[in-house]
């Protein structure tokens, strides 16, 4: 069964500092990978997605992610964090040939220090 792992439960960064959130997937075939953001009590907003092609994908709000097949990773990055980026971030894998369901990691809670 496929799985998605986010090794960091909590991360705290200072405003203006760079950010990298880790994500590892286990699905064998070419994965379809996503990063979502969730503010407290809210639903999920899609930040970016990777299906194929260029391994560095750009998303909204200045986020980017890099797909590395050799490391089974899809890490999310941002060069300069803003206080409004404080939220929960979820990495997800899409199992297209297993019923179109998303498998989510456990999430990483980002806190931003002023």
Tokens of 4: 């998605």
- Say whether residue 105 binds another protein (CB under 8 A): yes
Query: What is the distance between the alpha carbons of residues 78 and 1, in angstroms, rounded to a whole number?
Result: 31
- Say whether residue 90 binds another protein (CB under 8 A): yes
We find the least distance from the C-beta atom of residue 83 to another protein, in angstroms, to be 22
Q: One symbol per residue from 45 to 74: x for binding another protein (CB under 8 A), - otherwise; what is it?
A: xx--x-x-----------------------
56 to 10, 15, 51, 74: CA distances (angstroms): 24, 24, 11, 9
We find the least distance from the C-beta atom of residue 79 to another protein, in angstroms, to be 25
Single out the residue of 21, 25, 59, 107 in contact with another protein (rule: CB under 8 A): 107
Query: What is the distance between the alpha carbons of residues 6 and 104, in angstroms, rounded to a whole number?
Result: 9
- Say whether residue 86 binds another protein (CB under 8 A): no
Query: Closer to another protein at the Cβ: 67 or 94?
Result: 94
Where helices occur in 13-107 by DSSP H, the ranges are: none
């Amino acid at each position: 069964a496929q799985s998605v792992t986010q090794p960091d439960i909590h991360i705290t960064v200072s405003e203006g500092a760079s950010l990298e959130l880790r994500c590892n997937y286990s699905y064998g075939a070419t994965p379809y990978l996503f990063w979502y953001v969730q503010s407290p009590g809210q639903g999920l907003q899609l930040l970016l997605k990777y299906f194929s092609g260029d391994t560095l994908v750009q998303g909204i709000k200045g986020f980017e992610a890099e797909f590395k097949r050799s490391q089974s990773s899809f890490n999310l990055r941002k060069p300069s964090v803003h206080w409004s980026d404080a939220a929960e971030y979820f990495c997800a894998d899409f199992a297209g040939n297993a019923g179109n369901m998303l498998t989510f990691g456990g999430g990483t809670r980002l806190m931003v220090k002023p």
